[in-house]
Chain A
Amino acid sequence: MIRNPLEIQDAVKKIRMLIAGYPGIGKSTLALSAPKPLHIDVDFGIDRIEPRYRKPYIQPASYQEILDDLTPENVKDFDTLVFDTGGKLISLMSLWAIQKDPKYGQRDGSLSLKGYGFVGKEFVRLMDYCFYTLQKNIVIVFHAVEEKDGDNTRLRIKVEGQTKNNVWEPMDLGGFVEIYGNDRTIGFSNCERYFAKGTRGIFGVRKIPALGPTSPNDFLTKLFEEYNATAAAEVEKNAKEQKAYEDAMAAGRAVIGTITDADTANAAMPEYKKIKHTKTSKRELDVEWNAKIKACGLTFDKSAKKYVAPAAPEDKEAK
Chain B
Amino acid sequence: MSYLMTHSLLASWLYIMKDNPYEDATSTRDSYQEFLQTLRREPIPPTEAKAKGIEFEDLCYEIATGNFRPVWEPALNKKGIPKIDPNSGEPMGMTKYPRFYDAASQVADIIRGGQIQYKAKKLVEVNGMEFVLYGRLDTLKAGTIYDIKFSGSYDKGKYVDSTQHPTYMELIPEADQFTYVVSNGQNVWTETYRRDETASIFPVISDFVDWLYAVGLMETYKEHWKSL
Contact = CB atoms under 8 A, between A and B. Distances in A.
Contacts of A241: 143
A280 B187 contact: no
A162 B184 contact: yes
Contact of A242 (B142, B184, B194): B142
Interface string B48-67: 00000000000000000000
Given A190-B197, A279-B176, A283-B118, A165 B140 contact: no
A164 interface: yes
Interface string B158-190: 001100000000001011100000101011011
B18 interface: yes
A195 B197 CA distance: 11
A194 interface: yes
Contact of A284 (B114, B186, B189, B191): B114
B196 A283 contact: no
Given A190-B197, A203-B196, A280 B160 contact: no
Contacts of A162: 154, 184, 187
B187 A120 contact: yes
Contacts of A117: 186-187
Contacts of A154: 157, 160
Contact of B193 (A169, A190, A283, A288): A190
Contacts of B96: none
B115 interface: yes
A156 to B, nearest CB: 7
Given A164-B155, A283-B174, A192 B160 contact: yes
B169 to A, nearest CB: 12
B69 interface: no
B115 A195 contact: no
Contacts of B155: 156, 164-165
Contacts of B193: 190
Given A203-B196, A279-B176, A195 B156 contact: yes
B121 interface: no
Contacts of B197: 189-191
A168 interface: yes
A230 B155 CA distance: 30
A284 B187 contact: no
B141 interface: yes
Contacts of A194: 157
B157 A284 contact: no
Nearest to A282: B174
Chain A interface bracket (under 10, 10 to 19, 20 to 34, 35 or more)? 20 to 34
Interface residues of B, number: 30
A275 to B, nearest CB: 14
Contacts of B175: 279-280
Contacts, number: 78
Contact of A164 (B143, B156, B161, B191): B156
A287 interface: yes
Contacts of A149: 161
Contact of B140 (A195, A283, A288): A283
A189 B196 CA distance: 9
B157 A287 contact: no
Contact of A156 (B115, B157, B184): B157
Interface in A235-292: 241-242, 245, 279-284, 287-288
Interface in B190-214: 190-191, 193-194, 196-197
Contacts of A284: 114-115, 118, 140-141
Contacts of A192: 160-161
A157 B157 CA distance: 11
Nearest to A113: B186
A165 B196 contact: no
A101 B185 CA distance: 23
A150 interface: yes
A42 to B, nearest CB: 21
Contacts of A279: 142-143, 174-176
B172 A280 contact: yes
Contacts of B143: 241, 245, 279-280
A123 to B, nearest CB: 12
B174 A280 contact: yes
Interface string A125-165: 00000000000000000000000011010101100001011
Contact of B189 (A152, A169, A191): A169
A9 interface: no
Contacts of A164: 155-156
A165 B187 contact: yes
Given A192-B160, A195-B156, A195-B191, A280 B196 contact: no
5 pairs of A and B residues whose beta carbons are closest in the complex: A195-B157, A279-B143, A150-B18, A165-B189, A190-B197
